[in-house]
Amino acid sequence: MTRVGVIGIGHGIFGRRSDATVQELAFEAFREALADAGIERKEIDASVIGSVPEYHKQRSLAGVVQEYLNLNPAPTWLTEVACASGSAAMRTAWMGIKSGVHQIVAVIGCQKMTELSTPEILALMGRVGEVQWESIFGTTFPGYYAMFAHSHMHAFGTTRRQLAEVAVKNHSYGALNPKALFRKEITVEKALESEPVASPLHVYDCCANADGAACVILASEDRARAHGRKVVWLDGVGCATASMSVLRRPNLYSLPSAVEAAQQAYRMAEVGPRDVQVAEVHDCFSIAEIMAYEDLGFCEKGQGGRYIEERKSYIGGGGVAVNVDGGLKAKGHPIGATGVSMAVEIVKQLRGAAEARQVPDARVGLTHNVGGIGQYTFVHVYRKD
C-alpha cells in the first residue's frame, strides 16, 4: 500500500485573535502550507477540517472554510472528537489517501475560542465528561485532571515541584516560538506560587484557551516523491477510546486510550519508544505531560515525575525531547487546531527547520493528542525520508 507523506505545512499565530474570523485564521495557515508545498489549489482533491462547532456561531463550518479557501468543488467534511479533532482530521485524510480515493488532501485545524467567556468554555468542556453521572455535579477539565494528579501523587510520590517543572520547560521553549501565545520564561517558584485552580493544580499547571489554525497537506507516495525534495512520512497511526466516565476506568494515573493508541502506532511504523527523538504530547495540564511520558513508553510507569525533574524531556537531556514548541501550555490550545499544530512542529523538526528549537539528528517524531479526559487518543508516528 502507498505511503502517505507531508508535502506542505502552515501555522498561524495562536492567541486572542480579535483581528480574524475562523475562516481567516484557516486561510492564514492554508496560504503558508500551499506555498510550502509549491502546488496549485486545483491539485488538492479534498480537505478535512478539524474543529469543535459548539464554539462557533456558524454551523457546518467545513463548508464555510472550504468556500473561503476557494477549494470548491473538491469535497470537504468536518471531524470532531473534542480536543483531538485535529488529529482525527489527520487520520481521516491519511485513510482517504491510503485507500486510493484521494491523492492530495489539505488538513486544516481551526478554532475560534476567545469569543466565549471562561465560564462558558468550562461548561462546554465539562460536558465532554459523562453527562448523566459526572458533569451534572460540576466537573470541569481542571477538576478531572486534578483527580489524575492526586492519584499519580498518591501512587508514585509525584510532587507539585515536578508538575511545575513541566510548565518551566514548556515556557522556555514557547519563548523561542514566534507563533506561541505565551513567549516568556517562568521559574519554578513563580509556577508554585501562582493562584490555585483545582488542588493540586495552579495557574501555571493549566494551558490557555486560544484562537488559531494550522494546516498540513498530505499526499500519496507517488505525488509526494514527485514533489522534488525529501518528504516526511506519516508511517504509523493509532487511535483508541476509553469510557466516558472516569469512574469506570481501572485507575486515574494513566489513560488507557493513550497506551493502546501508542502500541498501534508503534506496530504500524515498526518502531518503539526508544526510536523516537522528538514528541508533541497533549499537555493540557502539567500532570497530562507526565502521564504521557509513561503511557508512550518514554519511561517506566510512575517515573514521569523524575523524567522531567532530571530534564530528560529537554533537548539534549538524554531522553525524548517533548513539546519543544511550548506545547499547549505555552503555545496555546485552540482545540480544533492543536493536533494539526503538533504535526506541523514534528515535520519542522524532521526537516531540520526548527531553528533555535531544533532537536539534533531527529529522524522519528511522534504526536499524542487527547480528546476530552482521555475518551479519545490519537498517536501518530512520523519519519523523515
Q: Does 133 lie in the same domain as 61?
A: no
Nearest alpha-carbon partner for 370 in 384, 380, 357, 355: 380
Out of 11, 102, 333, 368, the active site residue is: 333
Q: Does 88 lie in the same domain as 47?
A: yes
Q: Which parts of 18-60 fold into alpha helices (H)?
A: 22-37
pLDDT at position 202 is: 98
- What is this structure's pTM? 0.97
Nearest alpha-carbon partner for 3 in 217, 215, 216, 224: 224
Reported as a pLDDT band with limits 50, 70 and 90, residue 136 is confident
Count of domains for the chain: 2
Tell me the average pLDDT of the chain.
Answer: 95
Enter the C-alpha cell of residue 206: 493549566
Residue entry with cell 525524548: 320
- Is residue 2 predicted with pLDDT exceeding 90? no
Q: Does 282 lie in the same domain as 255?
A: yes
DSSP state letter for 206: B
- Is residue 137 predicted with pLDDT exceeding 90? no
Share of the chain above pLDDT 90, in %: 87
pLDDT at position 336 is: 97
Q: Does 152 lie in the same domain as 187?
A: yes
In a domain, 205, yes or no: no
Q: Does 111 lie in the same domain as 83?
A: yes
Q: Does 163 lie in the same domain as 81?
A: no
3-state secondary structure 130-176: CCCCCHHHCCCHHHHHHHHHHHHHHHHCCCHHHHHHHHHHHHHHHCC
Per residue in 217-260, pLDDT (tens digit) is: 999 999 999 987 789 999 999 999 999 989 899 999 999 999 99
- Is residue 55 predicted with pLDDT exceeding 90? no
Reported as a pLDDT band with limits 50, 70 and 90, residue 121 is confident
Q: What is the CATH number of the domain that holds 179?
A: 3.40.47.10
Query: Is 206 annotated as catalytic?
Result: no
- Sequence-separated (6 or more) residues with CB below 8 Å from residue 254: 291, 294, 295, 301
Query: Is 56 annotated as catalytic?
Result: no
Q: Does 294 lie in the same domain as 362?
A: yes
Out of 11, 56, 83, 202, the active site residue is: 83
In a domain, 385, yes or no: no
Per residue in 14-50, pLDDT (tens digit) is: 999 999 999 999 999 999 999 999 999 999 999 999 9
Reported as a pLDDT band with limits 50, 70 and 90, residue 129 is confident
- What SS3 state is found at 366? strand
Q: Does 240 lie in the same domain as 223?
A: no
